[in-house]
Structure 1
Amino acid sequence: MTSFGITNGPAPARLTVGIVSAGRVGTAVGAALERVGHVVVACSAVSEASRARARTRLRESEVLPVDQVAGKVELLVLAVPDTELSALVAGLAATDAVGPGTIVVHTSGANGIGILAPLAAKGALPLAVHPAMTFTGHDEDTARLSSACFGITAADDIGYAIAQSLVLEIGGEPVRVAEGMRPLYHAALAHGSNHLVTLVADAVQALRVALEGQELLGQELVGDEPGGVAERVISPLLTAALDNVLRRGPSALTGPVSRGDVEAVSTHLKSLSDVDPRIAEGYRALSLRSAQRVRADQDMIDLLGTRTDMKSGGESCE
């Protein structure tokens, strides 16, 4: 096994790397490692989309079955969906595909190193290294890795030193996450990123209804495709709100809930219900959480504590 230098020590040794599999995450991580001198010698790719990514982003990598990828490398990156990781690890352990001393990294946010226990028992060095970003499958993914934080979990100081070095090499920021905190870490990221997408999509849908048919002479029509008038209207507001909360915390909260304007919030709920009761329900739930944060008056809490009944077309029920 090639030795691996740690931070502030000798330059890290160049490692032979294998990627399982050549999806969006795997190819981005592989390309990032190659940029700093490691060599992705093999990857697995089953679907045609994965094979195309491998050809485009990991040009020097040989496409091989999973067990052969594992047997050729010093650093094995398991970049598969969370639901597939346990079975993959069990299969690799059962076939003795991973040699002792191999650094095995998975990129799952929800899991720590416990899921790699079958390989650790065979002498592998287990690491959980999760890039806290979303992936598109394009070249910008690799560039974004250089400014992303990575949640790292290891079994000991040696493991943490290696994980830290790998992340720092590609320009990322390593953040230690305790084994028992991985589910909470993942929940927080999913809550923020995934639900932001749903929130913005709902807001854009309602805004399109509000703007449709009111276009000025020569102005593009309000349509359903992304990047239109509605998105341009709301984009500066969203950008400012996100920047404010990240820099100033919950004090950045503005709007009718924070002002205690029960009448405005009630009107919002009715207007959104006319568009889609499900959007109104999302607004109600988030407004209630906002009201709790600002310790709103009971009148506001009472209004927002009334759920929208989806089955009855938007009528409320206690």
Structure 2
Amino acid sequence: MLRALLHADVPVTGPHGRGFDGSGAAVVLLCVPDGAIAAAAAQIQPGPLVGHCSGATGLDALGGRGFRLHPLMTVPTTGADFTGVTAAVGGTDPAALAVARELAERLGLRPVVVAETDRVAYHAAAAFAANFLVTLESAAADLMATAGLDRQVLVPLARAALENWAATGSAALTGPVARGDEAVVAAHRQVIADRRAELVPLFDELVAATRRLV
């Protein structure tokens, strides 16, 4: 986030460590783990407007007036390009919300207001789309390794599937479940049971979910 702010020519100081009290700042943006937000916010002395970057944590963790700015993007240690990415924003009052919107726009993000009552559902959907995708692809790579191939052979397939889903939604679904080829589904389950038995429950749940989608 710091790199993105600097790239957008937003005047910043820091990053500041544990115990920073906000001295000299007009706005303090907390980029800390969810469980540390309330404690970090409590350290900020009256004056600066305080915000956090969590998608799952409520505004109440700030202990008073503040805002939320959550880029809907995975951010590795090397940073991320936020251009055109959606950002969930919220504020305890219109002025705080306006600051969140302005920061988002300065970063090239597309701000959308997510109500407090929808915040957890929004974040759970994000976890499905990103975190669980990595879990799923890692499971596929683990199984592919038993055939002597590495995860890179799966990358074009996974990318194409995601792009097709982006374009057409569930109509992008292909494969034996979509075709109703139960013999192949059974063969898949058997080889998974033989080679990576720990993946059978995941396979069963995914087959059931895919059948519902079909």
C-alpha distance after superposition, 1:37-83 (max 9, x if no partner): 3222233236xxxxxxxxxxxxxxxxxx412xx12201101111111
C-alpha distance after superposition, 1:126-156 (max 9, x if no partner): 1110111122211xx14x1234221111133
| 2:55 aligned with 1:114 | no
Deviation at residue 99 of structure 1 after TM alignment: 2.6
2:209 to 264, 273, 289: 289
C-alpha distance after superposition, 1:251-295 (max 9, x if no partner): 11111111111111111011011121122221111111010111x
Match of 2:50 in 1: 104
Match of 1:244 in 2: 164
Aligned residues between the structures: 214
| 2:29 aligned with 1:77 | yes
**TM-score with structure 1 length normalisation?**
0.64
Letter in 2 for 1:196: L
Match of 1:233 in 2: 153
Q: Secondary structure at the match of 1:72?
A: coil
Looking at structure 2, the residues matched to 37 and 167 of structure 1 have their Cα atoms a distance apart, in angstroms, of: 13
Any conservation in 2 of the 1:206–1:272 contact (CA below 8 Å)? yes
Match of 1:42 in 2: 14
Aligned identity (percent) is 30
Letter in 2 for 1:131: P
Match of 1:54 in 2: none
Looking at structure 2, the residues matched to 293 and 42 of structure 1 have their Cα atoms a distance apart, in angstroms, of: 48
Q: What does 1:155-234 align with in structure 2 at a 5 Å threshold? A: 155-210=92-147, 212=148, 222=149, 230-234=150-154
Q: Secondary structure at the match of 1:105?
A: strand
Any conservation in 2 of the 1:130–1:150 contact (CA below 8 Å)? yes
1:136 to 69, 73, 76: 76
- The runs of 5 or more residues in structure 2 that have no matched partner are none
Q: Secondary structure at the match of 1:42?
A: coil
Looking at structure 1, the residues matched to 155 and 6 of structure 2 have their Cα atoms a distance apart, in angstroms, of: 35
Deviation at residue 113 of structure 1 after TM alignment: 1.6
Looking at structure 1, the residues matched to 14 and 29 of structure 2 have their Cα atoms a distance apart, in angstroms, of: 11
| 2:40 aligned with 1:88 | yes
Looking at structure 1, the residues matched to 45 and 85 of structure 2 have their Cα atoms a distance apart, in angstroms, of: 29
Q: Secondary structure at the match of 1:119?
A: coil
Q: Secondary structure at the match of 2:130?
A: helix
Letter in 2 for 1:66: F
Q: Secondary structure at the match of 1:43?
A: coil
C-alpha distance after superposition, 1:235-258 (max 9, x if no partner): 111011001111111111111111
Looking at structure 2, the residues matched to 271 and 194 of structure 1 have their Cα atoms a distance apart, in angstroms, of: 26
Looking at structure 2, the residues matched to 98 and 247 of structure 1 have their Cα atoms a distance apart, in angstroms, of: 48
- Provide the aligned C-alpha RMSD in A: 1.7
Looking at structure 1, the residues matched to 70 and 100 of structure 2 have their Cα atoms a distance apart, in angstroms, of: 10
Q: Secondary structure at the match of 1:150?
A: strand
Looking at structure 2, the residues matched to 233 and 33 of structure 1 have their Cα atoms a distance apart, in angstroms, of: 36
Deviation at residue 115 of structure 1 after TM alignment: 1.9
Any conservation in 2 of the 1:257–1:290 contact (CA below 8 Å)? yes
Any conservation in 2 of the 1:151–1:175 contact (CA below 8 Å)? yes
C-alpha distance after superposition, 1:91-127 (max 9, x if no partner): 32xxxx3333x221100110232222x232xxxxx11
Moved over 4 A (4+): none
